[in-house]
Amino acid sequence: MSRAELNARIAAVTGCQYALITGRQASEVGLSRGAIKRRIANGEWTTVRRGVFRVTAAPTSWRQSLLAAVLAADGGAVVGGRSAAALWHLPGFPMDPVEVRTSRGKSRRPLQRGTAESCILLPHHCTTVDRIPVTNPTRTVFDLAAIVSPERAERALDNALAMRLTDIHKLQAIMNELGKRGRPGTALMRDLLEDRGEGYIATESELERMFAKFVVAYRLPTPRRQVTLIAGRVDFLFDPEMVIAELDGRRNHTALLDREADMERDARLTAMGLRVMRFSYRRLTRDPEGVYMDLRGALRLAAA
With a cut of 70, say whether residue 251 has pLDDT above it.
Answer: no
pLDDT-derived band at 252, boundaries 50, 70, 90: very low
Question: Does the residue 91 lie in any domain?
Answer: yes
Final residue belonging to a domain, choices 196, 218, 238 = 196
CA atoms within 13 A on the CB side of 11: 7
pLDDT score of 96 = 82
Highest mean predicted confidence (pLDDT) among 85-89, 103-107, 184-188, 250-254: 85-89
Same-domain check for residues 210 and 141: no
* Amino acid, res. 1: M
The residue-averaged pLDDT of 222-226 equals 91
Condensed to tens digits (0 to 9), the pLDDT of residues 78-105 reads: 999 999 999 999 999 999 889 999 875 4
d(CA 20, CA 43): 14
For residue 168, give every residue at least 6 positions away whose Cβ sits within 8 Å of its Cβ, in sequence order, or none.
161, 193, 196, 198, 199, 200
More confident site: 56 or 229: 56
Find all residues with CB under 8 Å of 260, minimum gap 6, and list them: none
DSSP-derived letter for residue 261 is H
90 backbone φψ class: left, alpha, beta (φ>0; ψ -120 to 50): beta
Domain count, the chain: 3
**Contact status, residue 64 vs residue 72, Cβ threshold 8 Å:** no
Cα 284 to Cα 85: distance, rounded to the nearest angstrom: 30
Calculate mean pLDDT across residues 113-137. 82
Q: Are residues 86 and 154 in the same domain?
A: yes
Q: Domain check: are 160 and 244 in the same one?
A: no
Pick the closest to residue 25 from 40, 43, 10 (CA basis): 10
Query: Of 170, 196, 222, which closes a domain?
Result: 196
Q: Does some domain include residue 260?
A: yes
Range of the domain at 221: 206-303
HSE-CB for 5 with a 13 A CA cutoff: 4
What is the distance between the alpha carbons of residues 225 and 228, in angstroms, rounded to a whole number? 9
- Indicate the pLDDT class of residue 178, thresholds 50, 70 and 90: confident
HSE-CB at 295 with a 13 A cutoff on CA atoms is 27
Higher pLDDT pick, 117 / 84? 84
Do residues 70 and 165 both lie within one domain?
yes
Which is it for strands 224-229 and 52-55: parallel, antiparallel or unpaired?
A: unpaired
Closest by Cα among 100, 66, 68, 67 to 81: 100
Which residues have a Cβ under 8 Å from the Cβ of 191 and sit 6 or more positions away? Answer: none
pLDDT tens, 253-280? 445 556 677 788 888 888 888 999 999 8
> Residue 43: is its pLDDT beyond 80?
yes
- Domain membership of residue 158 (yes or no) is yes
Q: Does residue 267 share a domain with residue 216?
A: yes
Amino acid at 18: Y
- Tell whether the model's pLDDT for residue 181 goes beyond 90: no
In a domain, 201, yes or no: no
Sign of CA dihedral 292, 298, 301, 302: negative
Q: How wide is the angle at C-alpha 161 spanned by C-alphas 155 and 164, nearest 5°?
A: 140
Q: How many angstroms separate the CA atoms of 220 and 296, rounded?
A: 8
Position 282 in a domain: yes
Higher pLDDT, 212 or 258: 212
**Residue after which a domain boundary falls, among 174, 196, 218:** 196
